[in-house]
Structure 1
Amino acid sequence: MDQLEYYIEYYNIYIVCGMIIAVILLFIIALIQQIKISNFRKKYNLFMKSGEVDIEKLLISQINKIEGVENHLTKIDKNQILLDKRIDSTYQKIGIVKYNAFKEMGGNLSFAIVLLNYYNNGVLINGIHSRDGSYTYVKTIENGKTSVQLSPEENEALDKAIRQ
């Protein structure tokens, strides 16, 4: 029996070391599981913070909120389409040229203004200042062109507006 006791005592060290390693591994696993449970508990509390305990009621209320947001988004999309159509027809390109219509007069008191929409349709307003008075002329612009002859200043204002 002496030899048997010797082997038991000799292997006890390995058994104890193995058990210590197993306990350490089990402790690490338990710690990891505790962290996961803590994270899950935080998410659960965040989810349940509304005070409702019935998950089915909570999900139904969330679905109703989502449907309300979707309906509101659909209305916004329709309004956006209408606004896009309206904006294309508003004057958004402007070309202005100030000039001196008559050499004997000082200052650039005459002007040519072009107002165009997205499609380059709009008006050209030419204001000519002289000693006798001021005269204003309006010309229609369609697709960036007009059916009447333009002065160099009017052409410059039209080019400025189209290039915007």
Structure 2
Amino acid sequence: MSSFNSSVGLVAVVACAIAAIALIGLIVVIVMLRRLRRDQRLVIGDSERDITAHAADLERQFVALHDHLIDIATRLDGRVAKAETRLDSAISHRSVVRYDAYNELSGHQSVSIALLDSHRSGIVISSIQHRDQARFYIRQIEGGKGTVELSPEEQQAVKAAISGEVLDVVESP
């Protein structure tokens, strides 16, 4: 009988070990299930709907968001195009040429200022100083050329503005 008792004892120990392993496995599964439910609540919320209904709802929201972003991008493209058109007519080329117009005054008191847009159109403003008087002229420029004949200093101011050259004082011819 002792072999029977030892067999029963051995079976009892093995059964307890299996029960302990099963209990540990059950605890692990319960913890994993709770984590899964917690994560599912974060995604779906506390509602009773299933994951496929939630996924379909998310897809509808993403499509609506995508359409909204496309609409915003289209409007921004239009605004950028308008801004670029307006910038083409802004002053983008300029220069100042100072000179002695009559060679009787020193200090280069006469000046021609060219203000042109990206199409090389704009104005040249000239102030010519003489001992007794000062004259002020504004001449229109279209495509880099004056609509009326320009003085050499005004031509120099336009040329310097177009080339981006920095001129300040030029000896009069």
TM-score range, shorter chain: 0.5 to 0.7
TM-score w.r.t. the length of structure 1 is 0.63
The answer to whether residue 136 in structure 2 is matched with residue 135 in structure 1 is: yes
Flag as ranges the 4+ runs of structure 1 deviating above 4 A. Answer: 61-68, 147-150
Work out the number of aligned pairs and report it: 148
The answer to whether residue 29 in structure 2 is matched with residue 25 in structure 1 is: no
- Secondary structure in 1 aligned to 2:89? coil
The answer to whether residue 16 in structure 2 is matched with residue 16 in structure 1 is: yes
Between 63-72 and 20-29, report the one with greater CA deviation. Answer: 63-72
Q: CA RMSD in A?
A: 3.9
Unpaired segments ≥5 residues, structure 2: 48-52, 166-173
**Counterpart of 1:126 in structure 2: which amino acid?**
I
Change beyond 3 A, Cα 1:4–1:98? farther
TM-score w.r.t. the length of structure 2 is 0.60
Cα distance, 1:93 vs structure 2: 1.0
Q: Which residue of 1 aligns with 2:145?
A: 146
Unpaired segments ≥5 residues, structure 1: 49-53
Q: Which residue of 2 aligns with 1:51?
A: none
Distance (Å, rounded) in 1 between the aligned partners of 2:8 and 2:24: 24
The answer to whether residue 83 in structure 2 is matched with residue 79 in structure 1 is: no
Distance (Å, rounded) in 2 between the aligned partners of 1:155 and 1:25: 88
Change beyond 3 A, Cα 1:19–1:99? farther
* 1:45-56 mapped onto 2 (5 Å cutoff): 45=45
